[in-house]
Homo-oligomer: A and B are copies of this chain.
Amino acid sequence: MDNNRTLMELQKDVDTYISQFKEGYFPPMELLARLTEELGELSREVQHKYGTKKKKATEVEKELADEMGDFFFVLICMANAEGIDLQQSLQNVLYKYNTRDKDRWTKKED
């Protein structure tokens, strides 16, 4: 498998997958509901790994990565359905953090 796909290519991979079906992307409120559902499952795995009632480590690592994949898939679906370029959105965030919020945290060299 190609380990160096750009985020734009990955958004296109998801679109290629979805585009083969008549149903296409879900309506926006339903994509949001799915994102909420996936966050719930991610939350369960985080609790299993770090919470009061832990599961065994090997079992958990796999599931956390899988849940994060499911979650990321739905996020990309929503971005695609809305015509949003996730790389651009992320770069805007990093730019904002590096300018507006640049003194919010403690620089290591301080």
Contact = CB atoms under 8 A, between A and B. Distances in A.
A85 to B, nearest CB: 8
B89 A72 contact: yes
A14 B41 CA distance: 24
A63 to B, nearest CB: 11
Interface residues of A, number: 72
Contact of A32 (B28, B43, B69, B75): B43
B90 A73 contact: yes
Interface of A: 1, 3-8, 10, 13-14, 17, 19-23, 26-30, 32-44, 46-47, 49-52, 64-66, 68-73, 75-76, 78-79, 82, 84-94, 97-98, 105-108, 110
